[in-house]
Amino acid sequence: MTRISNVVRLQLVNRQAYIFVPLIVLGGAVLIGFLVFLLVPYGGPKYAIGATAAPLWSFVVVGIQALTLSFPFSQALGVTRRDFHLGTVLTAALTSAMLALIYLAIALLEKATGGWGMRGYFALSGLDGDAPLAALASYFTLAMLCFLSGYWCAAIFKRWGTVVLLTVLVGVSVAVVAAALLVIRFGAWDAVVGWLVSQGVLGLSAWGLVLAAGLTASSYATLRRVTQ
Amino acid sequence: MTSVIEVEHLTKRYGAATALDDVSLSLAENTVHGLLGRNGAGKTTLMSILTAQNFPTSGTVRVFGEDPYENARVLGRLCFVRENQKYPDHFKPVHAFRAASYWYPNWDQRLAERLVSDFQLPTDRLIKKLSRGQLSAVGIILGMAARPDVTFFDEPYLGLDAVARQVFYDRLLEDYSDHPRTIVLSSHLIDEVANLLERVIVLDKGRVVMDAAADDVRGLAVSVVGDAAAVAAFATGREVLRRQSLGNVTSAVVKGRVSEADRARLAGSGVEVTPVSLQQLIVSSADGGLDQGGGVGAVAGSRRGDASVARARNGGAR
């Protein structure tokens, strides 16, 4: 346990990647959002959901660099792959939770202030009045999925190289498109949309976490044999 | 002497290329080992397998009697900073040192600070912005201040100027005498590190071509320069590692001890006799001289397979 928490400390020795960069991106995006709300001459509700999604993208980069840079450094210090993996995913979870809490605070604030007094909204929950838990869960899950997709791709790249990574990514894309085509072919769009709606934000977040668990497990299996 | 690392029949292949070819050796506790050889001889590959950063194709590695792979008990006692070590993107040297202090119970912050000032390392600059020499200094400081049971230094002097290199050698020796531990220093600057070494392991094309106590290697051969006939007479019945002639002057590296009688005879013919440095010996052994010379024992044994590897290992340079 000490070893895993030491990996968390190692990852956060410099708080820039996991904490400051996402916060700066979020702060900047929200600021720009305010300006846009002020400048747009429209009396109805205005939405700038992209502003709160912006810091998520930095998590993709953080996930990639965790494997390409932090992992080799941890190896120099004699950290086992297992401890590195668990500590790194835990770091991502802690910082995702931090971002999710900030997102929730934004959602609650803008609800309380009627969209900052400008009818301007950054959080999805502003749209449909979702419960705070749904706001937290959805944002946490999205942040984790962003981090893990970068981490997962980097693990494949480090172990097998560019060609295999591209093949896997093309394979995943083809599978998604094929699934969509099948849905269209059998005229099942209504059923699919109906299922998605029935899951709700919480249900979809739970499915997202299942996907995240799969990415975590397969990243670890790959990482166990990664060399430099 | 207790050994901390045992390697048996270790082979590593990358596709058709063989990086390590049936390497067997052991590293002794509280000893400074030189892992010498040309670029591409397999030095970094060997160290990365010993630290479980890489995997053998065949053969076994035991560190403190155990398999090091995913073994926190063992890995926690090792430190191996690569020559091209990667660091997290936003790291400054100060972050790398702090992170290392979490992992190594013997981390010596005062030593780290002293080395920082010795190397004039800017600790508040991003590592990715550092010069090659400064980057080497970061690795040296990590390896020394962490003070683990086994430290691997991988060509640690790259980009350092002569003064900084001397600082490294002096500090390493100083700290080593206060805190004995096992040190593996990989290098292709052989003479520069020769005085630090207690044990010399030479790799060539993935094979161990020498594994001997440094004291035994010194004085293993002599260089003789002078009248061709006198040199030829001296060389008769001895192994000649290298011979060059210009007119009637011959320069030769000859294996074996020189008796007082030999010395007097050579001096009488105006032949100059000088000891051969470790570097000269290895260079002489690595080029053509060997292949013609036949079983050079400790120096070149393993080119001829297992039996001579064993001979090289056991025989040392006696």
Q: Domain with B12 in it: what CATH number?
A: 3.40.50.300
Which CATH number is B294's domain given?
Answer: 3.30.70
Nearest CB to A80; choose among B72, B85, B89:
B72
Q: Is residue A81 part of a domain?
A: yes
User: Are B53 and A3 a contacting pair at CB < 8 A?
Assistant: no
pLDDT at B287 (0 to 100): 58
In a domain, A202, yes or no: yes
- 3-state secondary structure at position B41: coil
Structure tokens of A162?
């560019």
B163 and B292 inside one domain: no
Q: What is the pLDDT of residue B201?
A: 95
Using DSSP, state whether B231 is helix, strand or coil: helix
Asked if residue B163 and residue B226 are part of one domain, the reply reads no
Q: How many CB atoms lie within 10 A of CB B190?
A: 20
Proportion of chain B in helix, strand, coil states, percent, rounded to 5:
40, 30, 35
pLDDT digits (tens, 9 = 90+) for A65-124: 999 999 999 999 999 999 999 999 999 999 999 999 999 999 888 888 888 888 888 886
Please determine, for residue B298, whether its predicted confidence score (pLDDT) is greater than 60.
Answer: no
Q: Sorting pLDDT into bands at 50, 70 and 90, what band is A130?
A: low
Q: Let me know if residue B318 belongs to a domain.
A: no
Same domain, B106 and B242: no
CB pairs under 8 A between A and B: 85
| Res B294: pLDDT | 34
Q: Are residues B48 and B131 in the same domain?
A: yes
Closest CA to A81 of B264, B121, B71: B71
The DSSP H or E segment spanning B34 is strand B32-36
Domain hosting B266: range is: 218-301
| Residue among B48, B71, B89, B123 with most chain A CBs within 10 A, to mutate | B89
Which pairs with CB-CB distance under 8 Å and at least 24 residues apart come from A180-184? none
* B73 and B133, same domain (yes or no): yes
Q: Which of A3, A8, A13, A67 to mutate to test the interface with B (most CBs of B within 10 A)?
A: A13
**What is the tens place of the pLDDT at every residue in A20-71?**
999 999 999 999 999 999 988 888 888 888 888 999 999 999 999 999 999 9
Is B199 inside a domain boundary?
yes
Q: Is residue A228 part of a domain?
A: no
How many domains does chain A fold into? 1
Please tell me if residue A83 touches chain B, with a CB cutoff of 8 Å: yes
What ipTM, to 2 d.p.? 0.91
Q: What's the pLDDT score for residue B315?
A: 39
Residues B237 and B179 in one domain: no
Residue indicated by tokens 């499915």: A207
pLDDT of residue B259: 86
- B226 and B155 in a common domain: no
The chain-wide mean pLDDT, for chain B, equals 88
Q: Is residue B294 part of a domain?
A: yes
Q: Pick left, alpha or beta for residue B275 (phi over 0 → left; psi -120 to 50 → alpha; otherwise beta).
A: beta
Domain membership of residue B42 (yes or no) is yes
In this structure, the answer to whether residues B54 and B181 fall within a common structural domain is yes
pLDDT in tens, B67-101: 999 999 999 999 999 999 999 999 999 999 999 99
Name the residue in chain A with its Cα closest to that of B149: A78
Does residue A24 fall inside a structural domain? Answer: yes
Q: Does residue B314 fall inside a structural domain?
A: no
Cβ of B92 within 8 Å of Cβ of A14? The answer is yes
Query: Are B223 and B296 in the same domain?
Result: yes
Contact predicate B138/B121, CB 8 Å: yes
Whether A7 is in a domain gets the answer yes
- The whole-angstrom separation of Cα B242 and Cα B253 is 5
Structure tokens at B230: 């006198």
Query: H-helix or E-strand containing B249?
Result: strand B249-255
Mark whether B23 and B149 lie in a shared domain: yes
Same domain membership, residue B189 and residue B224: no
Q: How many domains does chain B have?
A: 2
How high does pLDDT run on average in chain A? 92
Are B45 and B124 found together in one domain? yes
Domain contains B152: yes
- Domain membership of residue A135 as a residue range: 2-223
